[in-house]
Amino acid sequence: MTDMTAPLDPDQRARRNVAVLVLAQATLGAQMAMIFIVGGLAGQSLAANPCWATLPITMIVFGSMTTAPWLSQVMQRFGRRAGFFAGALGGAAGGGVGAYALMTGSFPLLLLGSYLSGIYMSAHGFYRFAATDTASDAYRPKAISYVMAGGLAAAIVGPQLMKATTDAFVVPFMGTYLAVVVLNLLGALLFLLLDIPKPRTPARDAPREGRSWPELLRDPRIAVAMTCAMVSYALMNLVMTSTPLAVVGCGFDAGRAADIVSAHVLAMYVPSFFTGHLIARFGVTRIMALGLGILASAGVVGLAGVELENFFVALVLLGIGWNFGFIGATSMLAGCHSAAERGRAQGMNDLIVFGGVTLASFSSGVLMNCTGGTPEAGWTAVNMAMVPLLALAGGALIWLVMRGPRPA
């Protein structure tokens, strides 16, 4: 006989929201692989100077960096659903402007479309935080991990859509940008199913709740979480952005580049099925350290040669290292702030993270196309550039461990 007094699953609502966010990650998230594969190639076809080839990708990340703070405040005031709708609208607008830019041969318009696509990228980054809004402390790392795992489908769908649409029109890549418009308009309907309550709005005359940005940054765990998240994402973007250019420059075709990026994105998200469990068992700092170590090994493989196997292995390791480092940092941050500080902390985090990624994305094109004179020399420069960022994150993590646990 069923015990009617038994408590309901405390994470019932959270599990439903996670399911919606996994679907959003799988469908809307496919556009990220698509535009990151074609962005550099489209930029190279329109830019007057090859050094600016990856500038469209840089503008996507810059758009994400500059819109993250206000988008987080929109979510804090009006709820997650409103913010995610705004992101999908930005993604659709970016795809439309990008397609028109290719049709007219306008590099500045391509940059504008890329910036608008950054609004979607910013909203996309908040999926992982939305998964924790209704989750218990025990379920939180798993919720983040499951939502990130939704990118597994995106890793398969995105590159295949890119292959199918690249030459759909006379103008190369135009079909890919139009497919992005369709993905955003249809995928946005998923957010109607979200059940995340809006944060309580304080009275106008009430004192501000929670810590300010400087106060949050003085929390060692928050500072280290943001540093490791920024480094993990920046290194992933630095190498991935230049990969299609390096692969094509070393004599392989764009289809091979898409396959390598597909393997990379799979490696980014497949570990998400167990990353949360690993964090729960071994602790978040160990998993973050493991992620940084795997990122370093990706650089070693990249420096070892420019054969197709090197590209595949390096990009797979890059994806796994990003997963452990970034999910670990996200989990650490989510446990360091109150509900009242949520919008402030998460907006600041993504501002810092995507600020670093913006610099990495821009540097990627410059290092790849404007150092050494050959694709091989450019690829070497890209991988060597990982060293100082890895030293920064590794040093921050060691410092946090040596400080010991926080005082009660």
Query: What is the C-alpha separation between 161 and 144, in angstroms, rounded?
Result: 26
Evaluate if residue 20 carries a pLDDT over 60. yes
How far is the C-alpha of 90 from the C-alpha of 107, rounded, in Å? 19
Residues 6+ apart with CB under 8 A from 299: 239, 314, 383, 384, 386, 387, 390
pLDDT tier at 399 (50, 70, 90 boundaries)? Answer: very high
Name which residue leads in pLDDT, 188 or 361. 188
SS (H, E, C) the chain: CCCCCCCCCCCHHHHHHHHHHHHHHHHCCHHHHHHHHHHHHHHHHHCCCHHHCCHHHHHHHHHHHHHHHHHHHHHHHHCHHHHHHHHHHHHHHHHHHHHHHHHHCCHHHHHHHHHHHHHHHHHHHCHHHHCCCCCCCCCHHHHHHHHHHCHHHHHHHHHHHHHHHCCCCCCCCHHHHHHHHHHHHHHHHHHHHCCCCCCCCCCCCCCCCCCCHHHHHCCHHHHHHHHHHHHHHHHHHHHHHHHHHHHHHCCCCHHHHHHHHHHHHHHHHCCHHHHHHHHHHHCHHHHHHHHHHHHHHHHHHHHCCCCHHHHHHHHHHHHHHHHHHHHHHHHHHHCCCCCCCHHHHHHHHHHHHHHHHHHHHHHHHHHHHHCCCCHHHHHHHHHHCHHHHHHHHHHHHHHHHHHCCCCC
Cα→Cα distances 57→40, 156, 215, 356, 396, Å: 7, 20, 33, 13, 28
Q: Which of the two residues, 212 and 393, has the higher pLDDT score?
A: 393
Candidate from 134-148, 194-208, 216-230, 393-407 with smallest mean pLDDT: 194-208
**Whether pLDDT at 408 is above 50:** no
Is 236's pLDDT higher than 50?
yes
- 315-333 per-position pLDDT tens digit: 999 999 999 999 899 888 8
Question: Which segment, 5-19, 107-121, 210-224, 240-254, is predicted with the most confidence on average?
Answer: 107-121
Q: Residues with Cβ < 8 Å from 122, sequence gap 6 or more?
A: 63, 64, 65, 67, 68, 71, 87, 350, 354
High-pLDDT (> 90) share of the chain, %: 37
pLDDT tens readout for residues 238-248: 998 888 888 88
Instruction: Among 28-32, 136-140, 290-294, name the one with the lowest average pLDDT.
Output: 136-140
**Does 335 have pLDDT greater than 80?**
no
> Bigger pLDDT: 339 or 20?
20
* Amino acid (1-letter code) at residue 35: I
Q: What is the pLDDT of residues 258-289, one digit of tens each?
A: 788 888 888 988 887 788 889 888 999 999 99
- Please give the share of the chain, as a percent, with pLDDT higher than 70: 93
What domains lie within the chain, and their CATH numbers? 12-194+211-403 (1.20.1250.20)
pLDDT of residue 405: 64
d(CA 331, CA 326): 9
Residue 406: pLDDT band by 50, 70, 90 thresholds?
Answer: low
Given a cut of 60, is residue 203 above it in pLDDT?
no
Instruction: Supply the pTM of this predicted model.
Output: 0.73
